[in-house]
């Protein structure tokens, strides 16, 4: 991160972005604070790994630490809008909200709820929320693929039309030899 902070003025230059831009690709490069996002992403996963391995017997610690990360990330994305595309900002906030709801529901699978029927009911809601989240992502992916295919088809159609016009133009191109009635195709 220090490297990017040091070269902050160069971030928007094409040669710098082509060489070093993969870390901040898709992020607004006009704020130093936004450059913390990739670092936070990696640190969040490392902390999750440490807490799951080191505190495997403390489910409350795992859930509370993940809730803290989710709330921090949600507030950060809401206030800073770090991504270039607004749909990505909204989708990230949607993911964090979904994760918070699911983390709160995890407590219901413990011994806090003694009735198994209620646990099953909570389980159905848990699966439904996961399904909604997955459906939103798959729908957006499907729309993106459809738009890409439509654009590719349009490009292909335009190329085919140009090629046909060129072939038609070459066939109809004739040179008339001066002073005679001879017509020759080229």
> Which range has highest mean pLDDT (31-40, 46-55, 79-88, 141-150)?
141-150
**168-to-47, 99, 154 alpha-carbon distances in Å:** 66, 60, 21
**How far apart are alpha carbons 23 and 127 in whole angstroms?**
34
Average pLDDT value for residue range 56-85: 90
Residue 169's pLDDT is: 74
Global confidence as pTM: 0.72
pLDDT mean over 10-16: 70
- What pLDDT sits at residue 22? 67
- For residue 134, give both structure tokens: 């997955």
pLDDT in tens, 153-176: 999 999 999 988 888 777 665 544
Span 104-157, pLDDT tens digits? 998 888 777 788 888 888 899 999 999 999 999 999 999 999 999 999 999 999
Q: DSSP secondary-structure letter at 175?
A: E
How far is 113 from 90, CA to CA, in rounded Å? 34
Give the Cα separation of 30 and 113 in Å (integer).
Answer: 49
- Tell me: pLDDT of 177 over 60: no
Distance (Å, rounded) from C-alpha 107 to C-alpha 117?
15
């Amino acid at each position: 991160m220090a490297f990017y902070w040091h070269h902050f003025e160069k971030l928007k230059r094409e040669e710098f972005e082509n060489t070093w831009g993969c870390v901040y690709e898709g992020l607004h490069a006009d704020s130093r604070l936004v450059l913390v996002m990739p670092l936070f992403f990696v640190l969040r996963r490392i902390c999750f790994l440490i807490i799951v391995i080191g505190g495997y017997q403390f489910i409350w610690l795992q859930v509370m630490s993940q809730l803290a990360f989710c709330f921090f990330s949600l507030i950060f994305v809401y206030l800073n809008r770090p991504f270039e595309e607004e749909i990505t900002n909204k989708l990230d906030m949607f993911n964090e909200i979904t994760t918070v709801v699911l983390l709160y529901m995890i407590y219901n699978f413990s011994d806090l709820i003694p009735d198994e029927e209620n646990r099953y009911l909570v389980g159905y809601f848990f699966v439904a929320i996961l399904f909604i989240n997955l459906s939103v992502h798959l729908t957006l992916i499907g729309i993106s693929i459809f738009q890409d295919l439509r654009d590719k088809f349009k490009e292909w159609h335009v190329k085919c039309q140009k090629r046909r016009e060129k072939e038609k133009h070459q066939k109809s191109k004739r040179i008339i030899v001066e002073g005679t009635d001879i017509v020759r195709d080229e």
